[in-house]
A and B are shown apart, each in its own frame.
Chain A
Amino acid sequence: MKTLKPLNGNQSIAEAARQIDPDVIAAYPITPSTAVVETIAQFKADGLITGEFVCPESEHSAMSVCIGAAAAGGRVMTATSSQGLALMWEMLYIAAGLRLPIVAAIANRALSAPINIHGDHSDTMGARDSGWIQIYSENCQEAYDNFIQAFRIAEHPDVRTPVLVGFDGFIISHSTEIVEVEDDEEVRQFVGEYLPLYPLLDTSRRFTVGPIDFTDYYFEHKRNQIEGIENSPRIIEQVGQEFGQRFGRYYGFIDAYRLEDAELAIVVMGSAAGTCKDAIDELREEGLKIGLLKPRVFRPFPHEIIAKALKDKLAVAVLDRSSSPGAFGAPLFNEIRSALYDYEKRPKIINYIYGLGGRDIKIEHFKEAAQNLVKIATTGRIDSYVGYLNLRE
């Protein structure tokens, strides 16, 4: 039976993990995702999950355990943040390259230095070329829902690609909301049985996994891997629809808020989208035709969907919760600007970097961006392509 429970983001993930009961969970504690690992450990201690819980000595080993376990043939998950994900970096590429459908919950956190435990997207953005599917959440409910869907997407035979589900550190991981928790059995049915393709533990066959490729095969094998993530959009779509049919909450690639008739748009991913919706409401009341586009899936990047939603706008501000030092703007801005290149009619686009190290973003900051968009739309002139919100300079 569906129940309403007060849960924070970490508890929401742990709750989903209890319901799914993966065969192996291997995770190392790190702020702010520690409570995911602790809660799962307690579930195991209390006999509420039947899978194996492994607590390795580092995140590098946690992902290595996940790789060994997934290759052995079963459902596998982990959770981490920030430096933990950075330490896994080498293994992220190997998980994707070996086509292992591991699911990772990432409580997004800033990267050192300076050391900072609060939420931004630097960690997962740093892993954006690792071959993992990346899904971002706005709140605890989305974190829970996305995490359940992630297994279906990762394990689909045409995809077989690891998935990470991001939810902002502290802002989501430590904030309690009322979450609709679905019935255990319903969740299990939705996720279904996983049938691994080449499990090492099937000893009726002998085979070699992870051999060395030289110049004659590496390129083809990487191309094959890319095909997996290229196949994923239709599965992500299908799983989001099925999830909606079963549980009443539908998911796609983006969430558009008052965007249809808007002349101006703000693009923002993760928890800040919630605040942005309030800002949009206030700005609309002030007479501004402005809307929000919230990307849910960052890899594979839904470039067509986003371009179509934005192409007729006059001006767009893309807000990134990470930086890409030395690049022309931050990652989300890069992708969106590139996605619009082929449209004859396209908006002026600017980039704002915000919220690094958990710096708050408030309604006034979205309004600041909106005022700049008004100026750009009126004058057609952009003074600065990349700016910062709520920063002392």
Chain B
Amino acid sequence: MAAVRLKDLAKMEDRLVAGHGMCLGCGIPIIFKVILRATEDPLIVTCATGCLEVCTTIFPRTAWNVTWIHSAFENAAATAAGIEAMYRALRNKGKIPRDKKIKILAIGGDGATYDIGLQALSGAVERGHDFVYVCYDNNVYANTGGQRSSATPLGASATTAPAGSTSPGKLQPRKDLTRIMAAHKIPYVAQASPNKWLDLYNKAKKAFEIEGPAFLNVLCPCPTEWKYEESQGIKLAQLANDTCVWPLYEVEKGQFKINYQPKQKLPVTEWLKSQGRFRHLFKEENAWMIDLIQEQVDRDWEELNKLAALK
């Protein structure tokens, strides 16, 4: 793959334009400005209900410079499957030229993807529809004000799993959705984050180019719900990579490949202390929780390295 330069990307047409209402410092537009540049083919985007959908399409305005549809919360993958089926049908019937390439992109947050829409996503990729699904994982139901999702990390405080005098926040670890998607044995699955823009761009490009379903899980810093200073999002994403809380890897035809090995793996406390949602963990009585989180991150990272070593 020929290396792309940032200034080349900057010259490309924006497919998600200014004027949307996303929060200052939100990771979503940063992520999608990169992803939407990773194909030059005509694109049809479908968004699940969530921050991105609500903030970009308040009638009569739209921030989408590309054909776009919203249907419901849990069905972005099924909606994309329908669009793709029609695209195939009309090409077969000669109503769309056979060589006309149209890419289909479904987008959901972690609520729409890990939770309510997991069944529709699993079904759509199992059926082999040729589309790309991107989850922007901000670890929380941000659109509705910070409720827990199954992507909310162990120990984080969320409004439906709040830290309190008898609770250290969410008591369960995150669901490992990227691995679940890899278990579908689809052509391409990857985990990315916005700080590594070139890695994200390359993964999106690969996802668009590969025939069949492709899934990208992208860590999405959320200043509002993670509770950090708005300018720090990209640094936080880097910290997620360096602590191995959010490793960058891809699974192509079953082969795991780690895309970033931190020179020095940082302790999770570096990650935890950077955000208000983990503040309560630093109380003396919650110290055990930090140990548990570290153990889990270490175990997951070790397991991922073993998988990547398999040939």
Which chain A positions have C-beta within 8 A of B70?
Answer: 209-212
Looking at chain B, what size class is its interface with the partner chain? Answer: 35 or more
Among A56, A68, A74, A205, max chain B CB count under 10 A is at A68
A-B contact count (CB 8 A): 165
Could you mark each residue 48-79 of chain B with 1 if its beta carbon is under 8 Å from any beta carbon of chain A, else 0? Answer: 00000110011110101111111110110011
Measured between C-beta atoms, what is the minimum distance from B18 to chain A in Å?
A: 16
Looking at chain A, what size class is its interface with the partner chain? Answer: 35 or more
Q: Please tell me if B92 contacts chain A, counting CB pairs below 8 Å.
A: yes
- When A24-B82, A211-B57, A212-B54 are in contact, do A94 and B72 touch as well, CB less than 8 Å? yes
Chain B residue with the shortest CB-CB distance to A204: B42
- Whether the pair A24, B59 counts as a contact (CB closer than 8 A) is no
Q: Please tell me if B218 contacts chain A, counting CB pairs below 8 Å.
A: no
Chain B residue with the shortest CB-CB distance to A210: B70
Measured between C-beta atoms, what is the minimum distance from B47 to chain A in Å?
A: 9
B window 86-108: CB within 8 A of A: 86-90, 92-93, 95-96, 102
Could you mark each residue 30-74 of chain A with 1 if its beta carbon is under 8 Å from any beta carbon of chain B, else 0? Answer: 000000000000000000001110111110110011111111111
- Whether the pair B69, A60 counts as a contact (CB closer than 8 A) is no
A98–B96 alpha-carbon span in the complex (Å): 23
Q: Please tell me if B307 contacts chain A, counting CB pairs below 8 Å.
A: no
Measured between C-beta atoms, what is the minimum distance from B55 to chain A in Å?
A: 9
Q: Please tell me if B22 contacts chain A, counting CB pairs below 8 Å.
A: no
Which chain A positions have C-beta within 8 A of B42?
Answer: 203
Measured between C-beta atoms, what is the minimum distance from B83 to chain A in Å?
A: 4
Q: Please tell me if B119 contacts chain A, counting CB pairs below 8 Å.
A: yes
Give the contact stretch, choosing among B121-129, B230-238, B291-299.
Answer: B121-129
- Whether the pair B74, A212 counts as a contact (CB closer than 8 A) is no
- Whether the pair B59, A65 counts as a contact (CB closer than 8 A) is no
Measured between C-beta atoms, what is the minimum distance from A115 to chain B in Å?
A: 21
Q: Please tell me if B80 contacts chain A, counting CB pairs below 8 Å.
A: yes
A205–B127 alpha-carbon span in the complex (Å): 29
- Whether the pair B89, A64 counts as a contact (CB closer than 8 A) is no
- Whether the pair B59, A211 counts as a contact (CB closer than 8 A) is yes
- When A68-B46, A68-B69, A212-B54 are in contact, do A57 and B119 touch as well, CB less than 8 Å? yes
Measured between C-beta atoms, what is the minimum distance from B209 to chain A in Å?
A: 18
Measured between C-beta atoms, what is the minimum distance from B16 to chain A in Å?
A: 12
A57–B85 alpha-carbon span in the complex (Å): 15
- Whether the pair B67, A206 counts as a contact (CB closer than 8 A) is yes
- Whether the pair A67, B44 counts as a contact (CB closer than 8 A) is no
Q: Please tell me if A90 contacts chain B, counting CB pairs below 8 Å.
A: yes
Among B46, B67, B68, B88, max chain A CB count under 10 A is at B67
- Whether the pair B123, A23 counts as a contact (CB closer than 8 A) is no
- When A23-B89, A217-B59 are in contact, do A65 and B96 touch as well, CB less than 8 Å? no
A91–B82 alpha-carbon span in the complex (Å): 13
Q: Please tell me if A133 contacts chain B, counting CB pairs below 8 Å.
A: no
Which chain A positions have C-beta within 8 A of B30?
Answer: none
- Whether the pair B57, A208 counts as a contact (CB closer than 8 A) is yes
- Whether the pair A65, B93 counts as a contact (CB closer than 8 A) is no
Among A69, A205, A208, max chain B CB count under 10 A is at A208
Which chain A positions have C-beta within 8 A of B57?
Answer: 208, 210-212
Measured between C-beta atoms, what is the minimum distance from B127 to chain A in Å?
A: 7
- Whether the pair B44, A72 counts as a contact (CB closer than 8 A) is yes
Which chain A positions have C-beta within 8 A of B220?
Answer: none
A window 89-130: CB within 8 A of B: 90-91, 94, 98
- Whether the pair A54, B82 counts as a contact (CB closer than 8 A) is yes
- Whether the pair B53, A68 counts as a contact (CB closer than 8 A) is no
- Whether the pair B64, A69 counts as a contact (CB closer than 8 A) is no
Measured between C-beta atoms, what is the minimum distance from B108 to chain A in Å?
A: 13
Q: Please tell me if A200 contacts chain B, counting CB pairs below 8 Å.
A: yes
A61–B70 alpha-carbon span in the complex (Å): 14
A/B interface sample: 9 pairs, CB < 8 A: A51-B93, A56-B120, A61-B123, A65-B78, A68-B46, A74-B90, A205-B67, A206-B65, A208-B64
B residues lining the A interface (CB < 8 Å):
42, 44, 46, 53-54, 57-60, 62, 64-72, 74-75, 78-90, 92-93, 95-96, 102, 119-120, 122-124, 126-127
A residues lining the B interface (CB < 8 Å):
23-24, 26, 50-52, 54-58, 60-61, 64-74, 76, 90-91, 94, 98, 200-201, 203, 205-214, 217
Please provide the 6 A-B residue pairs with the shortest distance between their CB atoms, ordered closest to farther. A68-B82, A57-B123, A64-B78, A72-B86, A211-B57, A203-B42
